[in-house]
A and B are shown apart, each in its own frame.
Chain A
């Protein structure tokens, strides 16, 4: 498979004030700390992890909403981090994003037509009539009534708004879409509608997705491969079916066992690996392996040495000292 996007040693640190409201004492929050992965053309790569693991930051850095602290992002043989503003602008039209909260990501004072048309206006595509035409076509693509172009976002339900957000992302005929928790704000019965639509769009338009979510069952459903992130690092990568059947990293195992299954016969019997405590602060992550503070099999070596992401065969990568 041709590689469409390659992320190498990506780091994104945020400077934050830790000295209280009046003192000025800066520290760096390591949201993404040395992350590398590749995405093949036409595949769906899932990225899962708990709140604060840096999954959203990875997505936003890829589309250029954040400048990386270090590392490179190569998109179709071009290093996005080294491009000039003008060159980046051109590439960016091919990289689009679907945001998490459909209530916050649409401008309430713009009509739906204007929202979807805006990217085309910015890139000066077609005549006004052609753009209008394209808006109608996009609305039909995402299953909305083309007559609704003059309505405002508040007139739509959550699921419909997310469709508008998707239509906007599609306006520039993108190749790569970062979907940042596109369904987590939606009702259960609506989630499946949006996921099916994303799958259809991928089929018809040949899109590549980076699908960011915390819902493991949904990620497993939609993705070809899954990255599991923990505190700014990637701890495991594998094909989505395999990772469920043979998880290797203790964090992945715990994460999978935490997902409830809608069947009381299974659920009442299930032995859970319940992780103790909470995610440590990314400002001051634990030494060595980041997961060791909550890990059920941690040993002294985990505090001293950081495990590397090792290939266990056929693309199954794990970073743990005790996996062989």
Chain B
């Protein structure tokens, strides 16, 4: 048992892609804690490493070109039912390092203990197998149920996610479902083995707003009903706002800010987070104010800038930002930010809550 109520702790995770053009540092020394029974939102633009982090956790990084170069992914050993692999001592007592598991043990973790909802429901279901077969497959493979039991449970799961006539729809093929329905099937599938952790990788990106609202409501409902932690990945700060307890902002393969959801939106501690919020129009805005974009474009990860990765686009960048990478410092309770503006000698910036 670990007593800190931690389900998963990613520690110094580094994933690189070795391409012909050079080494892409997709995830660099990423550290993240997922408490039990919580929803963690990961926000970042394309190429920020949010999906690669989660694929590394699942150990689904295609190798070559990708390689997990270092770090640990500690997962609650009691939940995994692997007492012999648990750490005996130290801060990670009772945890199992997923990255050091042999392949067959990892197979037992995927789907059973960590469920995944992929981004594009159009391509992540097998077009030549019925929904029923795909739904029951993981339950049977993990030895949780016989074929008949799995079928029954799959029908229940489909009903739970709001598919009408689940009994009949089990025999249908994915093309007979609409996009929103397929995403519901993906969710049902991810939850079918009652995993301790569900990773939802941009679950609503390819959907219309009305369907997106349906899926988000469904996820909120299920979060209350089932005892799973959820990691929701999105590029949209507003999607995460309604569902997450804790939000992590990623940029260029590292965390720039991590905070409780209310703290993050009320007193963002990083210029990038502030910039993201100002660059999207709000539906409830009274006047038509001009948007404040973040100038420039995300860095090339083949040759990332020295120092702070955001410095070339940062309005408040100081000399030190271009020379040294700022550390992730604690700026409040459970609030960490990677910015030199929090340093006692840094100049004050309007709208920026400084610590220390």
A165 proximity list for chain B (CB < 8 A)? none
A214 proximity list for chain B (CB < 8 A)? 208-209
A193 touches B295 (CB 8 A): yes
> Within 8 Å of chain B (Cβ to Cβ): is A187?
yes
A263 proximity list for chain B (CB < 8 A)? 238, 241, 265, 282
Query: From residue B59, how far is it (CB to closest CB) to chain A in Å?
Result: 28
CB-CB under 8 A for A267 and B238, given A189-B276, A256-B283, A262-B265: yes
CB-CB under 8 A for A278 and B282, given A192-B291, A262-B277, A263-B265: no
**Which residues of B23-62 have CB atoms within 8 Å of chain A's CB atoms?**
45-46
Instruction: Give Cα distance in the complex from A50 to B206, angstroms.
Output: 12
> Within 8 Å of chain B (Cβ to Cβ): is A244?
yes
Chain A residues proximal to chain B, CB less than 8 Å: 50-51, 157, 159-160, 187-193, 195-196, 199, 214-218, 220-221, 241, 244, 254-268, 270, 272, 274-275, 278-279
* Selected interface stretch from B76-84, B211-219, B329-337, B348-356: B211-219
A188 touches B45 (CB 8 A): yes
B181 touches A278 (CB 8 A): yes
Residues 133-168 of B, flagged 1 when their CB comes within 8 A of A and 0 if not, give 000000000000000000000000000000000000
A279 proximity list for chain B (CB < 8 A)? 208
17 examples of A-B residue contacts, CB within 8 angstroms? A187-B45, A188-B280, A189-B45, A189-B298, A191-B293, A193-B294, A215-B209, A221-B285, A260-B213, A260-B236, A262-B237, A262-B280, A265-B265, A266-B284, A267-B242, A268-B242, A278-B181
B217 touches A261 (CB 8 A): no
B283 touches A259 (CB 8 A): yes
B279 touches A192 (CB 8 A): yes
A193 touches B293 (CB 8 A): yes
A221 touches B288 (CB 8 A): yes
A258 touches B280 (CB 8 A): no
B209 touches A216 (CB 8 A): yes
CB-CB under 8 A for A217 and B295, given A263-B265, A274-B213, A278-B211: no
Instruction: Give Cα distance in the complex from A270 to B283, angstroms.
Output: 14
Query: From residue A164, how far is it (CB to closest CB) to chain B in Å?
Result: 14
B279 touches A157 (CB 8 A): no
> Within 8 Å of chain A (Cβ to Cβ): is B174?
no
B297 proximity list for chain A (CB < 8 A)? 157, 159-160, 190
Count, chain B residues at interface, CB 8 A: 46
B242 touches A265 (CB 8 A): no
> Within 8 Å of chain A (Cβ to Cβ): is B6?
no
Instruction: Give Cα distance in the complex from A262 to B284, angstroms.
Output: 10
B282 touches A217 (CB 8 A): yes
B210 touches A192 (CB 8 A): no
Instruction: Give Cα distance in the complex from A196 to B179, angstroms.
Output: 32
B239 proximity list for chain A (CB < 8 A)? 260
Instruction: Give Cα distance in the complex from A272 to B213, angstroms.
Output: 8
A191 touches B208 (CB 8 A): no
Instruction: Give Cα distance in the complex from A3 to B206, angstroms.
Output: 36
B209 proximity list for chain A (CB < 8 A)? 50, 214-216, 255, 258-259
Instruction: Give Cα distance in the complex from A24 to B128, angstroms.
Output: 25
B213 proximity list for chain A (CB < 8 A)? 257-258, 260, 272, 274-275
> Within 8 Å of chain A (Cβ to Cβ): is B178?
yes
> Within 8 Å of chain A (Cβ to Cβ): is B347?
no
Instruction: Give Cα distance in the complex from A214 to B213, angstroms.
Output: 14
B18 proximity list for chain A (CB < 8 A)? none
B216 proximity list for chain A (CB < 8 A)? 260
Residues 168-182 of B, flagged 1 when their CB comes within 8 A of A and 0 if not, give 000000000011110
Query: From residue B29, how far is it (CB to closest CB) to chain A in Å?
Result: 23
Beta-carbon nearest neighbor of B46 in chain A:
A187
Beta-carbon nearest neighbor of B289 in chain A:
A221
- For chain A, what secondary structure do more than half of its interface residues adopt (helix, strand, loop), or is it mixed? helix
**Which residues of B253-275 have CB atoms within 8 Å of chain A's CB atoms?**
261-262, 265, 275
Task: Name the contact of B262 in the complex, choosing from A51, A190, A265 (C-beta under 8 A).
Answer: A265
Instruction: Give Cα distance in the complex from A50 to B214, angstroms.
Output: 14
Instruction: Give Cα distance in the complex from A213 to B293, angstroms.
Output: 19
Instruction: Give Cα distance in the complex from A279 to B181, angstroms.
Output: 12
Query: From residue B159, how far is it (CB to closest CB) to chain A in Å?
Result: 15
A257 proximity list for chain B (CB < 8 A)? 213
B283 touches A188 (CB 8 A): no
Residues 214-249 of B, flagged 1 when their CB comes within 8 A of A and 0 if not, give 101100000000000000000111110110000000
Query: From residue B127, how far is it (CB to closest CB) to chain A in Å?
Result: 15
CB-CB under 8 A for A190 and B241, given A260-B216, A264-B261: no
A254 proximity list for chain B (CB < 8 A)? 210
Instruction: Give Cα distance in the complex from A310 to B232, angstroms.
Output: 43
> Within 8 Å of chain A (Cβ to Cβ): is B281?
yes
Residue of B235, B236, B282 with most partner-chain A CB within 10 A: B282
B280 touches A196 (CB 8 A): no
Query: From residue B205, how far is it (CB to closest CB) to chain A in Å?
Result: 11
Across the A-B interface, the 3 shortest Cβ-Cβ residue pairs? A192-B293, A221-B281, A267-B242
> Within 8 Å of chain A (Cβ to Cβ): is B318?
no
Beta-carbon nearest neighbor of B247 in chain A:
A264
With contacts A160-B297, A267-B242 known, what are 19 further pairs, Cβ within 8 A? A159-B297, A188-B276, A188-B279, A192-B291, A217-B280, A217-B282, A217-B283, A244-B284, A256-B283, A259-B238, A260-B212, A260-B238, A260-B242, A262-B237, A262-B265, A264-B261, A266-B284, A270-B242, A274-B217
Query: From residue A71, how far is it (CB to closest CB) to chain B in Å?
Result: 26
B214 proximity list for chain A (CB < 8 A)? 274-275
CB-CB under 8 A for A192 and B217, given A217-B282, A264-B261, A275-B210: no
Query: From residue B221, how far is it (CB to closest CB) to chain A in Å?
Result: 11
Task: Name the contact of B290 in the complex, choosing from A159, A196, A261, A275 (C-beta under 8 A).
Answer: A196
> Within 8 Å of chain A (Cβ to Cβ): is B1?
no
> Within 8 Å of chain A (Cβ to Cβ): is B292?
yes
B313 proximity list for chain A (CB < 8 A)? 189
Beta-carbon nearest neighbor of A190 in chain B:
B297
A272 touches B217 (CB 8 A): yes
B178 proximity list for chain A (CB < 8 A)? 278
A274 proximity list for chain B (CB < 8 A)? 210, 213-214, 217
Instruction: Give Cα distance in the complex from A233 to B239, angstroms.
Output: 29
A259 proximity list for chain B (CB < 8 A)? 209, 238, 283
